[in-house]
Amino acid sequence: MSLEMSKKSKKFSKGRGAVTLPTQQPGATGSQATTQAQTTASEKQQLIPLIQALEQARGNRVMVYWLTDLARISEAVVPSLYDQLSAIGHQEVLDLLLFTRGGDTEAPWRIVTLMREFCNRFAVLVPYRAHSAGTVLAMGADEIVMTPMGVLSPIDPSRTHPLLPRREGATEAEPISVQDMRHAMTFIRETAKPSEETTYTPDAMAQIVTALFDKIHPLAIGAIEQSYALSKLIATRCLSTHMTSPDDKDSIDKIVNRLCDDYKSHAYPICREEARDIGLKVIYAPPSVDQAMMDLAKFYMARDIGFPKTTVRPSPGQTFKLYIAWLDSINKQMRVEQDTLVEKDNQARPVGDRWIEY
């Protein structure tokens, strides 16, 4: 996953990639950039009324969990989430407005269980996208409120493993889609079956399998298969928090199997009508809620993430900060502050991050 920093920048890949700092822009002056403190104060003044408007439209307390494409859902959010929930206090119904490309397979279950410690029911609000682990998190809610722009995604995971292939010059292994691997193995099994259409000799099939194992270690294949089973387990448990009738077991299995197995692309966009047809508890946002959700989404999409805007670029060896995720309510405002190091080749790489109150 990556986020375009500017038309003059290369893509900044989440967690592992790098960005070339923008070239100096002719005619730019230092007065074009405000201080970060001024920007933060101004943003908070705009943010609070937007959250309050959504709370009024929904009749519930609202928390926003917004991740840029530079961030991923992980258990690192749990202490900050606990602080937020403690500040809000126990609620009959609590709303979580969510925006994410996805994240760690296990994290949604931890977030769902913690949310339920502080409310009797909770809803996930999806103004735009809640992909992958975000979809699993939404599956743990009593209802999913979606705008016409809102989309979920399949939940088959991608997996990194030290024994997976690396691109030339890369220091870390490439993530691989579990479904891609499963489809490759299915192709090999089906092709190996004797039939009139099969033209592969046993020696040819042995060469195909050998070539696959030359690229992907058998232990990595086992780990990938394990992550597929884990994804199904987490999704099943999330649904089981609110689909509690014995009669719901078949429905849960059908929902999980469809989201894990039926889609041939992890990027397939599941709109609200299709999500409802799958069996998820989807609510179409009424006009007032739709407007309030989209107003908040537009605010976050326009937020300053801290990328240097001045004509004086950071030199190699220097660091600057990026703000890559937010966890906000009217009680507390928190964000992920990422330290970014400029290397000798003018590439900027993340070297650490933390949740902080701002």
Note the pLDDT of residue 37: 76
Q: Which two tokens stand for residue 64?
A: 């926003």
Residue 6 is predicted with a pLDDT of 31
Instruction: Name the residue with tokens 């989440």.
Output: 14
The reported pLDDT for the residue numbered 75 is: 97
Length of the chain: 358
Q: Taking Cα atoms as reference points, which of 47, 51, 66 lies closest to residue 130? A: 66
Residue of 144, 128, 150, 142 lying closest to 91 (CA atoms):
142
pLDDT over threshold 90, residue 88: yes
Give the H/E segment covering residue 235. helix 218-240
Q: ∠ CA 87-82-242 to the nearest 5 degrees?
A: 105
In angstroms, rounded to a whole number, what is the distance separating the alpha carbons of residues 153 and 149?
Answer: 13
Of 41-50, 90-99, 152-161, 345-354, where does mean pLDDT reach its minimum? 152-161
pLDDT attached to residue 139: 99
Q: What's the average model confidence in pLDDT over 55-74?
A: 98
DSSP output for 155-170: -PPEE--TTS---TT-
Using CA of residue 182, residue 171, residue 130, residue 327, what is the dihedral sign?
A: positive
Higher pLDDT, 168 or 277: 277
Quick one: the chain helix, strand, coil %, rounded to 5? 40, 25, 35
Torsion of CA 318, 346, 173, 13, to 10 degrees: 90
DSSP secondary structure code for residue 268 in this structure: -
Angle value at C-alpha 177, between 175 and 182, nearest 5 degrees: 135
Give dist(CA 282, CA 204) in Å, integer.
Answer: 49
- The pLDDT > 90 percentage for the chain reads 60
- Global pTM reads 0.80
pLDDT of residue 347: 87
Sign for the CA dihedral angle at 79, 83, 85, 90 comes to positive
Strands (E), 58-204: 61-67, 91-99, 119-126, 143-146, 151-152, 158-159, 176-177
Dihedral over alpha carbons 310, 326, 62, 157 (to 10 degrees): 130
Is the distance from CB of 227 to CB of 105 less than 8 angstroms? yes
Domain boundaries of the chain, sorted by first residue: 2-153+269-357, 158-226
For residue 38, what pLDDT is reported? Answer: 80
Contact 176, 164 (CB under 8 A): yes
Q: Which of 11-20, 94-103, 340-349 has the lowest mean pLDDT?
A: 11-20
Q: What is the mean pLDDT of the chain?
A: 84
Task: From 24, 54, 256, select the one nearest 140 (Cα to Cα).
Answer: 256
pLDDT of residue 16 exceeding 50, the answer is no
At 39 the pLDDT is 79
Amino acid 309: pLDDT:
63
C-alpha dist (Å) from residue 4 to 114, 303, 349: 33, 14, 15
Averaged over 131-157, what is the pLDDT?
97
Q: Is the pLDDT of residue 27 over 80?
A: no
Residue 138 tokens read as 């939404």
The 10s digit of each residue's pLDDT in 299-339 is 999 998 987 665 567 889 999 999 999 999 999 999 999 99
Return all residues near 54 (Cβ < 8 A) that are at least 6 apart.
62, 95, 97, 125, 289, 292, 293, 295, 296
- Burial class of 89 by CB neighbour count within 10 A (0 to 12, 13 to 18, 19+): exposed
- Tell me if the domain spanning 2-153+269-357 has CATH number 3.90.226: yes
- Between 68 and 26, the more confident residue is 68
pLDDT band at 14 (very low <50, low <70, confident <90, very high): very low
Mean pLDDT of 219-240: 85
Q: Whose CA is closest to 329, among 132, 63, 71, 111?
A: 63
Classify residue 75 by its DSSP letter. G
Structure tokens at 296: 């908040």
pLDDT confidence tier of residue 18, bands split at 50, 70 and 90: very low
